[in-house]
Amino acid sequence: MKSVKPVVVALFAIATILSAPSFAQDYPNKPIKVFVPFPAGQASDTIARVVGERLAKSLGQPVVVENKPGAGGNIGSDQGAKAPADGYTLTVATAALPISKNVYRKLPFDPEKDFAPITLMTITPLVLVTRADLGVKDVAGLVDYAKKNPGKVTFASSGTGTSHHLSGELFKALSGTDLLHVPYKGSPPAHVDLMGGSVDIMFDNIVPVSPHVKAGKLKALAVTTKTRASALPDVPTMAESGFGSFEAVAWFGMLAPAGTPQPIVDRLNKEIVAILNTPDIKEKLASLGATVVGDKPEEFGKFMSAEIAKWAPVVKRAQIALE
Protein backbone atom coordinates (compact mmCIF):
# COMPACT_ATOMS: atom_id res chain seq x y z
CA MET A 1 0.00 0.00 0.00
CA LYS A 2 2.91 2.34 0.70
CA SER A 3 3.92 2.29 -2.97
CA VAL A 4 0.50 3.45 -4.24
CA LYS A 5 0.84 7.08 -3.20
CA PRO A 6 4.03 7.82 -5.19
CA VAL A 7 2.49 6.19 -8.26
CA VAL A 8 -0.66 8.30 -7.94
CA VAL A 9 1.39 11.46 -7.52
CA ALA A 10 3.51 10.59 -10.54
CA LEU A 11 0.45 9.88 -12.68
CA PHE A 12 -1.12 13.16 -11.61
CA ALA A 13 2.06 15.06 -12.52
CA ILE A 14 2.19 13.40 -15.94
CA ALA A 15 -1.49 14.19 -16.56
CA THR A 16 -0.91 17.82 -15.60
CA ILE A 17 2.02 18.15 -17.98
CA LEU A 18 0.14 16.51 -20.82
CA SER A 19 -2.99 18.58 -20.28
CA ALA A 20 -1.22 21.97 -20.15
CA PRO A 21 -0.73 22.34 -23.92
CA SER A 22 -4.33 21.22 -24.49
CA PHE A 23 -5.53 23.79 -21.94
CA ALA A 24 -3.64 26.50 -23.82
CA GLN A 25 -5.01 25.32 -27.17
CA ASP A 26 -8.58 25.56 -25.86
CA TYR A 27 -7.94 29.08 -24.60
CA PRO A 28 -9.86 31.29 -24.96
CA ASN A 29 -13.42 29.97 -25.23
CA LYS A 30 -15.23 32.93 -23.65
CA PRO A 31 -14.86 36.73 -23.42
CA ILE A 32 -11.79 38.24 -21.75
CA LYS A 33 -11.99 41.20 -19.37
CA VAL A 34 -9.25 43.82 -19.15
CA PHE A 35 -9.33 45.94 -16.00
CA VAL A 36 -8.04 49.50 -16.39
CA PRO A 37 -7.49 50.91 -12.87
CA PHE A 38 -8.08 54.49 -14.04
CA PRO A 39 -10.95 56.47 -15.59
CA ALA A 40 -11.86 56.45 -19.27
CA GLY A 41 -9.90 58.95 -21.32
CA GLN A 42 -6.55 58.43 -19.63
CA ALA A 43 -3.58 56.98 -21.48
CA SER A 44 -3.98 53.57 -19.82
CA ASP A 45 -7.55 53.39 -21.10
CA THR A 46 -6.63 54.56 -24.61
CA ILE A 47 -3.83 52.02 -25.01
CA ALA A 48 -5.91 49.20 -23.51
CA ARG A 49 -8.68 49.83 -26.03
CA VAL A 50 -6.31 50.04 -28.99
CA VAL A 51 -4.71 46.71 -28.05
CA GLY A 52 -7.95 45.11 -26.82
CA GLU A 53 -9.79 45.72 -30.09
CA ARG A 54 -7.09 43.93 -32.10
CA LEU A 55 -6.65 41.20 -29.46
CA ALA A 56 -10.32 40.31 -29.79
CA LYS A 57 -9.80 39.69 -33.50
CA SER A 58 -6.65 37.62 -33.06
CA LEU A 59 -8.11 35.45 -30.25
CA GLY A 60 -11.60 35.16 -31.72
CA GLN A 61 -13.32 36.23 -28.49
CA PRO A 62 -14.65 39.59 -27.25
CA VAL A 63 -12.20 41.62 -25.15
CA VAL A 64 -14.10 43.89 -22.78
CA VAL A 65 -12.25 46.84 -21.25
CA GLU A 66 -13.60 47.77 -17.80
CA ASN A 67 -12.55 50.97 -16.03
CA LYS A 68 -12.14 50.49 -12.28
CA PRO A 69 -10.67 53.73 -10.96
CA GLY A 70 -9.90 54.77 -7.41
CA ALA A 71 -7.16 54.90 -4.77
CA GLY A 72 -4.43 55.75 -7.26
CA GLY A 73 -5.17 52.64 -9.33
CA ASN A 74 -5.25 50.25 -6.38
CA ILE A 75 -8.96 49.38 -6.49
CA GLY A 76 -8.80 47.98 -10.00
CA SER A 77 -5.38 46.40 -9.46
CA ASP A 78 -6.62 44.67 -6.30
CA GLN A 79 -9.58 43.20 -8.18
CA GLY A 80 -7.30 42.09 -10.98
CA ALA A 81 -4.85 40.44 -8.58
CA LYS A 82 -7.65 38.50 -6.89
CA ALA A 83 -9.43 37.39 -10.08
CA PRO A 84 -9.38 33.71 -11.08
CA ALA A 85 -6.00 32.75 -12.53
CA ASP A 86 -7.46 31.42 -15.78
CA GLY A 87 -6.45 34.07 -18.32
CA TYR A 88 -9.91 35.59 -18.59
CA THR A 89 -9.20 38.64 -16.41
CA LEU A 90 -6.21 40.81 -17.25
CA THR A 91 -5.07 44.07 -15.70
CA VAL A 92 -3.32 47.05 -17.24
CA ALA A 93 -0.31 48.01 -15.14
CA THR A 94 1.09 51.53 -14.96
CA ALA A 95 3.91 53.25 -13.08
CA ALA A 96 1.42 53.75 -10.25
CA LEU A 97 1.61 50.04 -9.38
CA PRO A 98 5.24 49.85 -8.16
CA ILE A 99 4.87 53.30 -6.58
CA SER A 100 1.94 52.01 -4.54
CA LYS A 101 4.15 49.39 -2.93
CA ASN A 102 6.28 52.24 -1.55
CA VAL A 103 3.41 54.57 -0.65
CA TYR A 104 0.69 52.43 0.93
CA ARG A 105 1.29 50.87 4.36
CA LYS A 106 -1.57 48.38 4.01
CA LEU A 107 -1.71 47.57 0.31
CA PRO A 108 -4.19 44.67 -0.07
CA PHE A 109 -2.07 42.98 -2.75
CA ASP A 110 1.60 42.63 -3.66
CA PRO A 111 2.52 44.04 -7.09
CA GLU A 112 5.35 41.52 -7.45
CA LYS A 113 3.87 38.37 -5.90
CA ASP A 114 0.20 38.60 -6.90
CA PHE A 115 0.59 39.12 -10.65
CA ALA A 116 2.03 37.17 -13.57
CA PRO A 117 3.70 39.65 -15.96
CA ILE A 118 2.71 39.30 -19.60
CA THR A 119 4.47 42.17 -21.35
CA LEU A 120 5.49 45.80 -21.03
CA MET A 121 3.46 47.25 -23.90
CA THR A 122 4.61 50.86 -24.24
CA ILE A 123 6.51 53.66 -22.60
CA THR A 124 5.59 57.32 -23.00
CA PRO A 125 7.01 60.61 -21.77
CA LEU A 126 5.35 62.72 -19.16
CA VAL A 127 4.93 66.36 -20.09
CA LEU A 128 5.21 69.33 -17.78
CA VAL A 129 2.25 71.50 -18.79
CA THR A 130 0.88 74.76 -17.45
CA ARG A 131 -2.40 76.57 -17.82
CA ALA A 132 -2.23 78.63 -20.98
CA ASP A 133 -2.39 81.99 -19.19
CA LEU A 134 0.21 81.34 -16.47
CA GLY A 135 2.65 83.54 -18.35
CA VAL A 136 5.82 81.43 -18.18
CA LYS A 137 7.67 80.44 -21.34
CA ASP A 138 9.97 77.70 -20.11
CA VAL A 139 11.03 75.65 -17.08
CA ALA A 140 13.45 78.32 -15.90
CA GLY A 141 10.62 80.84 -16.01
CA LEU A 142 8.40 78.51 -14.01
CA VAL A 143 11.06 78.02 -11.34
CA ASP A 144 11.55 81.77 -11.09
CA TYR A 145 7.79 82.35 -10.84
CA ALA A 146 7.40 79.64 -8.19
CA LYS A 147 10.22 81.05 -6.07
CA LYS A 148 8.61 84.48 -6.19
CA ASN A 149 5.28 82.92 -5.12
CA PRO A 150 6.22 80.23 -2.56
CA GLY A 151 3.39 77.89 -1.64
CA LYS A 152 1.02 79.53 -4.12
CA VAL A 153 1.79 77.60 -7.30
CA THR A 154 -0.39 74.48 -7.47
CA PHE A 155 0.46 71.25 -9.24
CA ALA A 156 -2.29 68.80 -10.11
CA SER A 157 -2.00 65.02 -10.28
CA SER A 158 -4.24 62.08 -11.10
CA GLY A 159 -4.05 61.01 -7.46
CA THR A 160 -1.76 60.87 -4.45
CA GLY A 161 1.09 58.43 -4.96
CA THR A 162 0.80 58.32 -8.76
CA SER A 163 3.73 58.90 -11.11
CA HIS A 164 2.25 62.34 -11.85
CA HIS A 165 2.38 63.19 -8.15
CA LEU A 166 5.89 61.85 -7.58
CA SER A 167 7.19 63.63 -10.69
CA GLY A 168 5.94 66.86 -9.15
CA GLU A 169 7.62 66.02 -5.85
CA LEU A 170 10.87 65.23 -7.68
CA PHE A 171 10.65 68.56 -9.49
CA LYS A 172 10.10 70.37 -6.19
CA ALA A 173 13.18 68.74 -4.70
CA LEU A 174 15.43 69.40 -7.70
CA SER A 175 14.25 72.98 -8.28
CA GLY A 176 14.08 74.06 -4.64
CA THR A 177 10.53 75.34 -5.07
CA ASP A 178 7.53 75.18 -2.75
CA LEU A 179 4.58 73.87 -4.76
CA LEU A 180 1.14 72.87 -3.47
CA HIS A 181 -0.07 69.41 -4.52
CA VAL A 182 -3.73 69.10 -5.61
CA PRO A 183 -4.73 65.45 -6.20
CA TYR A 184 -7.65 64.48 -8.45
CA LYS A 185 -9.50 61.26 -9.13
CA GLY A 186 -7.85 60.69 -12.48
CA SER A 187 -6.37 63.00 -15.12
CA PRO A 188 -9.52 64.17 -16.99
CA PRO A 189 -10.93 66.29 -14.12
CA ALA A 190 -7.43 67.67 -13.49
CA HIS A 191 -7.24 68.73 -17.15
CA VAL A 192 -10.58 70.53 -16.86
CA ASP A 193 -9.37 72.56 -13.88
CA LEU A 194 -5.96 73.15 -15.44
CA MET A 195 -7.51 74.53 -18.62
CA GLY A 196 -9.99 76.49 -16.53
CA GLY A 197 -7.24 78.12 -14.47
CA SER A 198 -8.06 76.54 -11.11
CA VAL A 199 -4.61 74.88 -10.90
CA ASP A 200 -1.32 75.96 -12.42
CA ILE A 201 0.82 73.06 -13.62
CA MET A 202 0.83 69.28 -14.02
CA PHE A 203 3.09 66.42 -15.03
CA ASP A 204 0.95 64.10 -17.13
CA ASN A 205 1.21 61.52 -19.84
CA ILE A 206 1.77 62.83 -23.34
CA VAL A 207 -1.11 60.77 -24.76
CA PRO A 208 -4.02 62.71 -23.21
CA VAL A 209 -2.36 66.14 -22.95
CA SER A 210 -0.86 66.52 -26.44
CA PRO A 211 -4.25 67.33 -28.09
CA HIS A 212 -4.79 70.10 -25.52
CA VAL A 213 -1.27 71.42 -26.16
CA LYS A 214 -1.75 71.40 -29.93
CA ALA A 215 -5.09 73.19 -29.50
CA GLY A 216 -3.43 75.90 -27.41
CA LYS A 217 -5.44 75.08 -24.29
CA LEU A 218 -2.32 74.05 -22.35
CA LYS A 219 1.32 75.08 -22.67
CA ALA A 220 4.00 72.37 -22.70
CA LEU A 221 7.30 73.33 -21.09
CA ALA A 222 9.26 70.05 -21.19
CA VAL A 223 9.09 66.28 -21.63
CA THR A 224 10.58 63.98 -19.01
CA THR A 225 12.47 61.56 -21.26
CA LYS A 226 16.13 61.80 -22.31
CA THR A 227 15.15 62.59 -25.89
CA ARG A 228 12.39 64.74 -27.35
CA ALA A 229 9.03 63.17 -28.12
CA SER A 230 7.96 62.75 -31.74
CA ALA A 231 4.40 63.77 -30.83
CA LEU A 232 5.67 67.17 -29.55
CA PRO A 233 9.02 67.63 -31.31
CA ASP A 234 9.34 71.34 -30.46
CA VAL A 235 9.08 70.74 -26.71
CA PRO A 236 12.51 70.45 -25.01
CA THR A 237 13.47 67.77 -22.51
CA MET A 238 13.92 68.43 -18.80
CA ALA A 239 17.66 67.89 -19.36
CA GLU A 240 17.69 70.59 -22.03
CA SER A 241 15.85 72.78 -19.54
CA GLY A 242 18.59 72.49 -16.93
CA PHE A 243 17.46 69.37 -15.05
CA GLY A 244 19.81 66.68 -16.29
CA SER A 245 19.01 64.22 -13.50
CA PHE A 246 15.25 64.41 -14.05
CA GLU A 247 13.91 61.42 -15.94
CA ALA A 248 10.52 59.77 -15.58
CA VAL A 249 8.44 57.78 -18.01
CA ALA A 250 4.89 56.60 -17.98
CA TRP A 251 4.57 52.96 -18.96
CA PHE A 252 1.81 50.50 -19.62
CA GLY A 253 1.99 46.75 -19.28
CA MET A 254 -0.37 43.79 -19.18
CA LEU A 255 -0.69 41.47 -16.20
CA ALA A 256 -2.57 38.30 -15.31
CA PRO A 257 -3.23 37.01 -11.79
CA ALA A 258 -0.38 35.01 -10.25
CA GLY A 259 -0.81 31.32 -10.92
CA THR A 260 -2.14 31.75 -14.45
CA PRO A 261 -0.89 28.73 -16.46
CA GLN A 262 2.36 29.56 -18.24
CA PRO A 263 1.08 28.37 -21.65
CA ILE A 264 -1.71 30.99 -21.40
CA VAL A 265 0.73 33.71 -20.32
CA ASP A 266 2.98 32.80 -23.25
CA ARG A 267 0.04 32.81 -25.68
CA LEU A 268 -1.07 36.25 -24.51
CA ASN A 269 2.49 37.54 -24.71
CA LYS A 270 2.84 36.28 -28.28
CA GLU A 271 -0.49 37.77 -29.40
CA ILE A 272 -0.05 41.17 -27.70
CA VAL A 273 3.56 41.62 -28.84
CA ALA A 274 2.53 40.80 -32.42
CA ILE A 275 -0.29 43.35 -32.20
CA LEU A 276 2.03 46.05 -30.83
CA ASN A 277 4.45 45.50 -33.71
CA THR A 278 1.77 45.59 -36.41
CA PRO A 279 2.70 48.64 -38.53
CA ASP A 280 -0.66 50.43 -38.26
CA ILE A 281 -0.90 49.88 -34.49
CA LYS A 282 2.70 50.94 -33.97
CA GLU A 283 2.09 54.06 -36.04
CA LYS A 284 -1.11 54.86 -34.16
CA LEU A 285 0.60 54.51 -30.79
CA ALA A 286 3.53 56.61 -32.01
CA SER A 287 1.13 59.37 -33.04
CA LEU A 288 -0.04 59.41 -29.43
CA GLY A 289 3.54 59.68 -28.20
CA ALA A 290 3.90 56.06 -27.12
CA THR A 291 6.94 53.91 -27.94
CA VAL A 292 6.28 50.18 -28.33
CA VAL A 293 8.30 47.79 -26.14
CA GLY A 294 6.65 44.34 -26.23
CA ASP A 295 9.12 42.36 -24.12
CA LYS A 296 9.08 38.87 -22.58
CA PRO A 297 7.19 38.13 -19.33
CA GLU A 298 10.40 37.66 -17.34
CA GLU A 299 11.82 40.93 -18.67
CA PHE A 300 8.70 42.81 -17.65
CA GLY A 301 8.92 41.24 -14.19
CA LYS A 302 12.49 42.53 -13.76
CA PHE A 303 11.40 45.97 -15.00
CA MET A 304 8.63 46.09 -12.38
CA SER A 305 11.08 45.24 -9.59
CA ALA A 306 13.48 47.93 -10.79
CA GLU A 307 10.66 50.50 -10.78
CA ILE A 308 9.81 49.66 -7.16
CA ALA A 309 13.43 50.29 -6.19
CA LYS A 310 13.63 53.49 -8.27
CA TRP A 311 10.73 55.30 -6.61
CA ALA A 312 11.43 54.22 -3.02
CA PRO A 313 13.83 57.11 -2.22
CA VAL A 314 11.52 59.69 -3.85
CA VAL A 315 8.61 58.53 -1.69
CA LYS A 316 10.77 58.59 1.42
CA ARG A 317 12.13 62.08 0.70
CA ALA A 318 8.63 63.44 0.08
CA GLN A 319 7.36 61.65 3.22
CA ILE A 320 4.37 60.19 1.38
CA ALA A 321 2.59 57.48 3.36
CA LEU A 322 -0.99 56.33 2.91
CA GLU A 323 -3.08 53.67 4.60
Helices (H) and strands (E) in the chain, counts: 11, 10
Strand residue runs (E) in the chain? 32-36, 63-67, 89-94, 115-131, 153-157, 179-183, 201-205, 218-223, 249-257, 291-292
| 174 Cβ contact partners less than 8 Å away, ≥ 6 residues apart | 243, 245, 246
Q: Indicate the pLDDT class of residue 43, thresholds 50, 70 and 90.
A: confident
Neighbouring C-alpha atoms within 13 Å toward the C-beta of 54 = 18
How large a percentage of the chain has pLDDT more than 70?
93
Encode 52-78: b = buried (16+ Cβ within 10 Å), e = exposed.
bebbbeebebebebebbbebbbbbbbb
Which of these ranges, 13-22, 108-117, 164-173, has the smallest mean pLDDT? 13-22
> Residue 203's beta-bridge partner residues?
128
Contact 126, 250 (CB under 8 A): yes
Q: Could you give all domains of the chain from N- to C-terminal order, each with its CATH number?
A: 26-123+250-318 (3.40.190.150), 125-223 (3.40.190.10)
- Helix (H, G, I), strand (E, B), or coil: what is residue 158? coil
pLDDT digits (tens, 9 = 90+) for 1-32: 444 445 544 454 455 455 445 556 799 999 99
Model's pTM, two decimal places?
0.79
Q: Specify the amino acid at residue 53.
A: E
- Alpha carbon distance 61, 51 (integer Å): 14
pLDDT digits (tens, 9 = 90+) for 243-297: 998 988 889 999 999 999 999 999 999 999 999 999 999 999 988 888 999 999 9
Average pLDDT, the chain: 91
Contact 291, 123 (CB under 8 A): yes
pLDDT of residue 89 exceeding 60, the answer is yes
Which of these ranges, 5-19, 84-98, 149-163, 274-288, has the smallest mean pLDDT? 5-19
- Alpha carbon distance 18, 168 (integer Å): 52
| pLDDT on residue 196 | 97
Integer distance in angstroms from the first to the last C-alpha of the chain?
A: 54
Which of these ranges, 74-88, 135-149, 162-176, has the smallest mean pLDDT? 162-176
- Helix (H, G, I), strand (E, B), or coil: what is residue 27? coil
Q: CA-CA distances (angstroms) from residue 2 to 6, 7, 9?
A: 8, 10, 12
pLDDT of residue 144 exceeding 60, the answer is yes
Q: Which has the higher per-residue pLDDT, 6 or 301?
A: 301
- Alpha carbon distance 225, 239 (integer Å): 8
How large a percentage of the chain has pLDDT more than 90?
70
Output Rg (C-alpha) for the chain, integer angstroms: 22
